[in-house]
Structure 1
Amino acid sequence: MLKSFRFLFVLFPVLAVAVLVVSLPRSVDGPGTSAAREPPALPDKLSPAEQDLSEQIAALGEGFDGEAGLAFRDNQTGRIIHYQGDALYPQQSVSKLWVAMAALAQASAGELDLQDSVTIRRADLTVFYQPIRSIVRQQGSYTTDYADLLSRALTRSDNTANDVLLRRVGGPEAVQAWLNGAGLGAIRFGTDERTKQSAIAGLEWSQAFSYGGKFFDARDRVPDARRRAAFEGYLSAPMDGASPVLMAVALGRLAEGNLLDTVSTELLLSTLEETRSGPKRLKGGLPDGWTIAHKTGTGQYFGGEQSGYNDVGILTAPDGRTYTVVAMIRRTSAPNGQRMELMQELVRAVGRYHEVAKAPAAGA
């Protein structure tokens, strides 16, 4: 048995997850339910395809220079294979998924009209990547609708678009309440980008940080000891922490239509297929004819290390079978190319698994 695999149970509020491989039952409840599920049983043994995939995933994780959690879910069987996937990892912009889902759930309930008009002004701008800022700078404001903000937040990872949509759905508490109600309460949403990124840097948010390099200038003035304490504190207990295993469960339920209604599910998946960020992360390993609906997340640097470098997604094979893949890196100093290669190789391993798993059994 590989040294990194421990057979134990990690208890989440609504399900028990067995480390290495577990078969999680598909939800038979409606979208957004928090009904409890029976703890799954450990399989008696792995199939040859699962055994091969588990060894490949272990080799990828152990060979990487950093703290990586990798998870895979076969959405046909519900079986999960993972490496170090039961701990909390920083989500960073992966958490934009939950804002979008909460918004879509409210839209389905008639509590939010995604076509409602909204105006973005200087006071709404946040920090780091926010393409909307260029429009606001040129025009003084930008009037659009919430559907546009949702698309920008997911496909372009626009922090301002996400934070304005977040305020409309009721703030961090409302998003966490949606996660809790969906049976995903062990996922921590965290807070808005302004508050989160400032805290990681040992700062308190000032609206002046939203323009130019003022955030970076202020961060450079933070004493190293305070910056280190904030950085390490975030990594040890990320306010937006999620385990790769539960992330795989959540995306698997999304793919199966058990988180949102049919219209919202189709809209979200089609939007995630248009994601522009991270073209060389998971997407870079796609076999010919496959598609991916995914969301990336990238954290801050300090002392030569990055806090959070992620990509999570749903792979669809040419025959329509779907698989969930999750790659979350808590911290690393490895070059970007090595991080991307880790993610690409994970996808390639899934492609090889698919070719074996889809083949009919001998004598069938």
Structure 2
Amino acid sequence: MFKFEDFSAFQRAVTVAGLGPAMLVGCTVHGDPSLATYLPAAYGVSFAFPWEGNTQPSANAWKPTARAPHGLVNAIDGITRNFDGLVGVAITSVQDGWIVTSNDAARPMPQQSVSKLWVTMTVLDAVDQGRIRLDDPLTITRSDFTLFHQPVAALVKGDAGYTATVGEIIRRAMQMSDNTCNDKLLRLVGGPDAVRAFLARKGITGVKFGPGEKLLQAGTAGLEWKPEYSMGNAFAVARSRLAPSVRLNAYEAYVKDPPDGAAAGAISVALARLKRGELLSPSSTAWLLQTMDGARTGRARVHGAVPAGWVYGHKTGTGQDLGTRTAGFNDVGILTAPDGKSYALAVMIGDTRRPIRERQLLMQAVAQAIVANHGGGSRVEDNVDPAWKAFTSSK
């Protein structure tokens, strides 16, 4: 098994070409105009390479077929080099076949709620096989409760619970990031092993699927799961009573080897394959993409720099905090231009102490770099957000 630090030598070919002045890329969109002033960066072009994961790739595993745009490569390198934290960024052109990756795009990062994407795909794959229907009823009761964000809990009344269609439960899991809805879907398809089998069958490598919400969050905190943690703030209270050393050790172990770890590059490729119709039937593909377009979470992440006329369907993920640190602050999705060209992107912040605003600005800078590259890479007048300006100048 390759070590992360050996990735460049063993798993990727990188061409380094002669550099004149590094290309500077920027653009103005709504929200924060010209968020990033990109610093000169090494020119690198990524070519075809496999991602190592928990399964062997199938014969239809996707590989890049074109050379990455030089300006976008430089921009992503500059953005990620100037961020104080563990971050992986990857952008795959759905139509043109190139991929741009940051240095840590092959390193597994905590997915957190990004993993809801794989649960939903597994459900839709079962729909394609005729084992489940989107209009099948599904009932959620108090015994199904998980922890953290579960707005469906307010709809569960008495012993009757809350009944909705499978399709509606998916929408709640994907668009509202409802943990209980996702866990119900996970059990509907057969648990974590069913999701892992789907990933293996579809040749999605570089993506691990964890033990489920309850066990994952308990382990990250340094706890053993108890059913009572699903009620009220019982989990937070139990976590607060742990010795600081227990919490720190559990946190560090999770970040170092997350059981739900996934590489930004692997996610980007999987999303490109989804958009290209390689993972699900045409009807399920269209249904999922439309559902992702309606996501309500993370409006200040990548979405905060999406210009008018563009569409961004996505899934966010956010992990637990320990002091000022956060284990997983993510946004992955498909950004589509008015002319129909699409870019599958993944921004995975595995661990950082930086303020939330700076994390959001990094994600918005990635979106701006994509938009600028799509428009020809022309540079516009710098008008940098004060928070971003302070961030870049301090490095």
Provide TM-score, normalisation by structure 2: 0.81
Structure 1 residues 351 and 221, CA, compared in 2 at 3 Å: closer, same or farther?
A: same
Evaluate the alpha carbon distance shift between residue 24 and residue 319 of structure 1 in structure 2; reply closer, same or farther with a 3 A threshold: farther
1:107-146 per-position Cα deviation (integer Å, ceiling 9, x unaligned): 0101112222121111100000010011125786111121
> Within the alignment, does 1:35 sit opposite 2:59 as a pair?
yes
The answer to whether residue 54 in structure 2 is matched with residue 53 in structure 1 is no
Residue matched to 2:93: 74
For residues 320 and 5 of structure 1, the distance between their equivalents in structure 2, rounded to whole angstroms, comes to 37
Q: d(CA) in 1 for partners of 2:6 and 2:96?
A: 22
Q: Which amino acid aligns with 1:331?
A: D
> In structure 2, what is the equivalent of residue 146 of structure 1?
166
> How far apart in 2 are the matches of 1:221 and 1:201?
11
Contact kept, 8 Å, 1:18 with 1:42, in 2: the verdict is no
Alpha-carbon shift at residue 41 of structure 1 (Å): 8.0
1:186, CA displacement in angstroms? Answer: 2.7
1:89 partner amino acid: M
Alignment CA distance shift 1:221-1:140 (3 Å):
farther
* Alignment match of 1:167 (pick from 178, 187, 190): 187
Structure 1 pair 196–38 and aligned structure 2 pair: CA distance change class (3 A): closer
Q: Deviations over 1:315-344 (max 9, x none)?
A: 110000001111100111111111111001
Unaligned stretches of 5+ residues in structure 1: 11-15, 26-32, 359-364
Q: Which residue of 1 aligns with 2:366?
A: 346
Partner Cα distance (1:42, 1:9) in 2:
20
Q: How does 1:247-262 map to 2 (within 5 A)?
A: 247-262=267-282
1:282-304 Cα distance to aligned partner (Å, 9 max, x none): 11110221001100000001132
CA contact (8 A) 1:87 1:243 kept: yes
Q: Which amino acid aligns with 1:118?
A: L
Selected match of 1:292 from 309, 312, 316: 312
| SS across alignment from 2:139 | strand
Note if 1:22 corresponds to 2:57.
no
Deviation at 1:185, TM superposition (A): 3.5
Query: Which digits, 9 at most, give the CA deviation of each residue in 1:69-93, with x for residues without a partner?
Result: 1111111221111112111111000
Distance in 1, Cα, partners of 2:331 & 2:70: 24
Aligned to 1:13: none
Find the aligned partners of 1:37 and 1:61 in 2 and give their Cα distance: 27
Q: Are residues 1:270 and 2:290 paired?
A: yes
Instruction: Give me the whole-angstrom Cα distance separating, in 2, the residues matched to 1:291 and 1:201.
Output: 36
Aligned equivalents of 2:163, 2:135: Cα separation in 1: 12
Quickly say closer, same or farther: Cα 1:165–1:40, change in 2 above 3 A: closer
**Match of 1:29?**
none
> Whole-Å Cα distance in 2 between the matches of residues 260 and 214 of structure 1?
39
User: Shift of residue 8 of structure 1?
Assistant: 3.3
| Number of aligned residue pairs | 338
Shift of 1:160: 0.2
Q: Secondary structure at the match of 1:356?
A: coil
Deviations 1:149-194 (CA, angstroms, capped at 9, x unpaired): 1110000000000000000000000000000111014310112111
Aligned residue for 1:102, secondary structure, equals helix
Structure 2 unaligned spans of 5+: 16-43, 50-56, 379-395
CA distance in 2, matches of 1:164, 1:185: 25
Distance in 2, Cα, partners of 1:41 & 1:112: 36
Structure 1 SS opposite 2:339: coil
Taking only aligned residues, the RMSD between alpha carbons, in angstroms, comes to 2.4
What letter matches 1:242 in structure 2? Answer: A
Report how far residue 228 of structure 1 moved: 1.4
Does structure 1 residue 233 correspond to structure 2 residue 253? yes
Please point out which of 75, 80, 84 is paired with 1:65: 84
CA contact (8 A) 2:66 2:96 kept: no
Deviates more, 1:213-222 or 1:75-84: 75-84
> What is the alpha-carbon distance in structure 2 between the residues aligned to residue 17 and residue 270 of structure 1?
36
Equivalent residues of 1:54, 1:81 under 8 A apart: yes
Distance 1:280-1:250 versus aligned 2 partners, 3 A rule: same
Match of 1:196 among 198, 216, 219: 216
Please state how far the C-alpha of 1:34 moved relative to its aligned partner: 2.7
- Structure 2 equivalent of residue 103 of structure 1: 123
Distance (whole Å) between structure 2 residues aligned to residue 267 and residue 36 of structure 1: 23
| Contact kept? 1:21, 1:42, Cα under 8 Å | no
Residues 267/308 of structure 1: CA separation in 2 closer, same or farther (3 Å cut): same
